[in-house]
Amino acid sequence: MLERYFIRPATIERIRTSWIGALIERYVVWLTEQGYAPRCVLIRVPLLMRFGEFAQESGATIWEELPKYVDPFVNSWLNKRGKDRSKDVSTKVAVRTICGPIHQLLRLIIPGYSGGGRSRKLTDPFMVQAQGFFTYLRSERGLRETTIIQYSHYLCCFEAYLRNINLNSLSELSPAVLSAFITTQCSQVGKRSIQWLCNVLKVFLRYLHRESLIGRDLSLHIESPRRYKHSQIPRSISWDEVRRMLKTVDRRSRVGKRDFVILLLLVTYGLRAREVAALTLDDIDWRRDRLRIPERKSGHSTAYPLLPIIGEAILDYLQNSRPKTSERALFFRAIAPYTPLTYVAVSLRAKHYLRKADIDIQRPGSHTLRHTCVQRLIDAQMSFKTIGDYVGHRSPDATKVYAKVSIETLREVAMGDGEVVV
């Protein structure tokens, strides 16, 4: 495989005779299988060679010892260039560039190695003092993993706050401590997040009291902020702004072909980011011109007519942009490693194009386009039941929020002289 990237026989021989030469060649094979560009191989192999030489000079004799030489190698590299690792932003980028290939190699060759990269699983907080809480959430309350991640996030914030005020035992909790924590969070997040936080704390405190970890039920001292039903206006955009956004997509590029399909699905069918990310090739029925959305949030599946413009965009993406892979997922990363696109990435792509089109909207993202789809159906005077079924609303109340304001009527009032308002 090395002959595919290196021309000189002396270079190939030097790599293979290195004490980690077999590891590097195995890594090159893996990079090729994952679809990495040749320039990535040409940049990473010399770096790994230098790392191997450094580790050997520092006393490494077996592969399993390599992880402990990563940080010393990085520090040595920085010291030779006279850079302060903690201050220079460009230096931090360089450190990530150096560490990335090394950690990737070590994860490939050492079973169980988890160094480097971002952890995709949040560490459960309060594991020492309330180690059974997350088991309780899964087993007794039956919560989804996505909801449990929310619990973990808010309780991590609570744990960090208690650590900052030197409160080491949950038995020392008091209404004053809880009030101070919630007040601190109010200055950092919105009302909806505070409501979430209060609900999480209530469940956590009830569990602590049930397990006799605290002497009284402190959840009774937490009052969530009031959020009135239908108090917010849906964050939709006009159809002219949708056209402006779609024009910013470079449909000649691989990324543009993929993103154009994603945006069309979001704004035409009002799909959620999770539903778009979960689409597979099997969900497209080309013979009947149908698009199937299985396992929606409301608990049912939906079949949409596959509109010509969307069908043509999907076909263009499949033929000219989607990576050649045996996996059935529809959307993939545009660069190696070619893994299926996550729902977070889908929402971020929508946010990217909304900002690129200079559309001023609060909290831009995939849900902006979902709101736009629903608002357009409302303006077409379709019934709430039909709209709710179309976009997969769990409850009619989720649809009725759009009825409190007529966007087009308000625009006419705003553009007129204001003398006649019916």
SS3 string, 300-326, reads: CCEEEECCHHHHHHHHHHHHHCCCCCC
Q: What whole-number distance in Å separates Cα of residue 69 and Cα of residue 51?
A: 8
Is 273 exposed, middle or buried (CB count within 10 Å of its CB: 0-12, 13-18, 19+)? buried
- Specify whether the CB–CB gap between 317 and 261 falls below 8 A: yes
Question: Contact at 8 Å (CB) between 357 and 248?
Answer: yes
Cα three-residue angle 118-79-27, rounded to 5 degrees: 45
With 0-12 / 13-18 / 19 or more C-beta atoms within 10 angstroms meaning exposed / middle / buried, residue 299 is exposed
What distance, in Å, lies between the first and last C-alpha atoms of the chain?
76
Phi, psi (rounded to 5 degrees) for 394: -75, -35
Q: How many helices (H) and strands (E) does the chain have?
A: 18, 3
Write phi, then psi, for 125 (nearest 5 degrees): -75, 165
**Under DSSP, is residue 276 helix (H, G, I), strand (E, B) or coil?**
helix
Up-side HSE of residue 138: CA atoms within 13 Å toward CB?
A: 11
Write the DSSP symbol of residue 329.
B
| Cα–Cα distance for residue pair 322/55, rounded to 1 Å | 40
> Is 154 within 8 Å of 196 (Cβ atoms)?
yes
d(C-alpha 164, C-alpha 158), whole Å = 10
8 A C-beta contact, residue 345 and residue 277 = yes
Go through the chain and tell me how many residues it has.
Answer: 422
Q: Which two tokens stand for residue 73?
A: 């190698």
Looking at the annotation, which residues are catalytic? 272, 297, 367, 370, 393, 402
Residue 329 CA to residue 278 CA, distance in Å, equals: 7
Task: Give the separation between CA 304 and CA 301, rounded to whole angstroms.
Answer: 10
Residue 55 in 3-state DSSP? helix
Residue 100 to residues 84, 93, 114, 115, 139, Cα–Cα distance (Å): 19, 11, 12, 10, 38
